[in-house]
Amino acid sequence: MKAGDEMRVVNALLVKDGKILLLFKESRQKWFLPGGKSEFGENVIQTGCREFLEETGLNLKNVKLGAVTTVVINELKEEWLLCTVIATDACGHLIEENREGKLQLHPVSTLDQLPMFEGDRFVVKELLLRDHDSPPIISAQFYTPTYELEKIVVDS
């Protein structure tokens, strides 16, 4: 998105029984949290829950805002808002594969070995360290045009 354009993306982290649910996108050869763009009039919790249900077949429970990240690609003058919701439970029937890729539960202990964008890994790891009642992580992530992470600035 160009400067002045507005795009809100929300992804969802389900943490249950020491595992997290991730989506492997063949096109990028990386693992992602399920999520997508907000629809007109939706708040971030609604978007996270809707996108998670659409991509996984699961309804999130005990959901809260976990992180608000401004993603910046300076060289391209692009930025967007990425929110992460976190949940400790879900119900429904897991869809193992969808149009985006394959879904799989991963033990939290394997997070460092998975191919992911480093900014995503940072947010997930920080959320896993926090109590569910903690305030959201507020940060900005700066990337190169090829999505190599340059730096993360966290508002303390």
- Look at residue 106 and tell me whether its pLDDT is greater than 90: yes
Q: What domains appear along the chain, each with residue ranges and CATH number?
A: 10-70+82-137 (3.90.79.10)
> What is the β-pairing status of strands 78-92 and 8-16?
parallel
Name the nearest CA neighbour of 60 among 48, 69, 73, 72. Answer: 48
Q: Is the pTM of this model over 0.85?
A: yes
pLDDT tens per residue, range 123-144: 999 999 998 889 999 999 999 9
pLDDT on residue 132: 82
pLDDT tens per residue, range 14-56: 999 999 999 999 999 999 999 999 999 999 999 999 999 999 9
Mean pLDDT of the chain: 93
Neighbours of 27 (CB within 10 A): 7
pLDDT on residue 27: 92
* Cβ atoms 86, 66 nearer than 8 A: yes
pLDDT tens per residue, range 108-119: 999 999 999 999
Q: What is the mean pLDDT of residues 143-153?
A: 94
